[in-house]
Structure 1
């Protein structure tokens, strides 16, 4: 009888420890840093051309092991110089710019694997690639040549859980702006061809490392034995 009681005690303790090691948090908050670059009339194809510093804050609402919603507030420097490429502009003109943008947005993230920490039966992994897509706003503060518009972010990334509450990430995203003045009024219509929200050349990218901390414990579920 004592042996059976001891076995039940060990099983209950094991279940409690396993539950404590599972992913029990609803939110992540943290920061990121890396580089941003621009693609448009002054750079039509070169990735990471004239990169500028990018940094900001991130927050996730974790829905389950596969899905989460991420919110970001970030800033990035973007630059361009038409002399770096072979484009021919009317009257042989050349243009260059250097601007600092602010990005506010939300993206849905889909993890390829069940992301988290816990016992083997949960089939969770500390590492996963993921895809992201969403909606955001781009703002360039400038007294005479400011810019504000909607952007559509698309990207890929990887996450790694270094402990129960800490996460590292690396993310690459491209953001299509629904306007053609991100690079300034001089490059808003250099060929005198009317643009539209879905027919323009202004994109920007951010590649950054992130570190986040889990908080907001999920409600524990009591299972009757």
Structure 2
């Protein structure tokens, strides 16, 4: 009887413990951008990204995660195959940092930690969504130097360098061994700003509104044909830019099990 109780306790406590566990890990991968300088290629990844995460697994299907990612994103009209973009000749890059809160849904019953769970799988595809807070600061190369674009107000707009973003994506989790897990994911972020690239709408009228800096007109209109007349389209008029990450994460699951002694 004592042995039977211990067995029942072990499996029930294992399942309960696994139903609510903490998980932490690090991530590395690639970052990309889609916006006024890359309007049609959601698969363009240009720079490395690094980050970390702390996760609460509520059960085999639902988790909540706090994550941090740091990267650079960039775009360059000169690398486009579109004639308008080549003539427009704009270029940017920005260091970007993101703090996020995400919810994950495992499509299979995934209980990491190296302990048995009823109907659990060692791997699972998953979906995620959430909200992020990001900071960015676009720069461009000009006359051999790196120039911050925000203070120049190249479109006559004093935009904020912080914004929120809507997060969505998918991935796959696999329990390597015991408490160790490897996770691969692809995620997109719709930023609630159109100025990640310092480009949004129209060329400004510097005759009516004096430029913020003597350098502003030169970096506002870099077109090869000098076609940036006031009111002419400069951006793609979409209200938001997008950035994306594809990353591999290595995580460790913290599990504690306590059974009464006899």
Please, which runs of 5 or more residues in structure 2 have no aligned partner? 139-147, 151-159, 203-232
Residues in 2 aligned to 1:51 and 1:64: alpha-carbon distance in whole angstroms: 36
Residue 15 of structure 1 pairs with residue 18 of structure 2: no
Partner residue of 2:181 out of 167, 184, 194: 167
- Give 1:33's match in structure 2, choosing from 8, 17, 28: 28
Q: Contact 2:24–2:54 at 8 Å: present in 1 too?
A: yes
Q: How does 1:30-179 map to 2 (within 5 A)?
A: 30-83=25-78, 84-86=80-82, 88=84, 92-116=87-111, 118-119=115-116, 122-141=118-137, 145=150, 147-179=161-193
Q: Is the Cα–Cα contact under 8 Å of residues 118 and 124 in structure 1 kept in the other structure?
A: no
Q: Are the equivalent residues in 2 in contact too, given 1:50–1:79 (CA < 8 A)?
A: no
* Secondary structure in structure 1 of the residue aligned to 2:69: strand
Shifted more, 22-31 versus 56-65: the winner is 22-31
Matches within 5 A, 1:167-206: 167-184=181-198, 187-190=199-202, 191=233, 199-206=238-245
User: How far does the alpha carbon of each residue in 1:99-155 deviate from its partner, in whole angstroms, 9 at most, with x for none?
Assistant: 2100111111001011115446x1111100110011111111466527211100100
Match of 2:247 among 190, 193, 208: 208
Unmatched 5+ residue regions in structure 1? Answer: 1-7
Contact 2:200 2:234 in 1 (8 A): no
The aligned length equals 207
Counterparts of 2:45 and 2:91, CA distance in 1: 11
TM-score, normalised by the number of residues in structure 2: 0.70
Matched residue, 1:4: none
TM-score normalised per structure 1 = 0.80
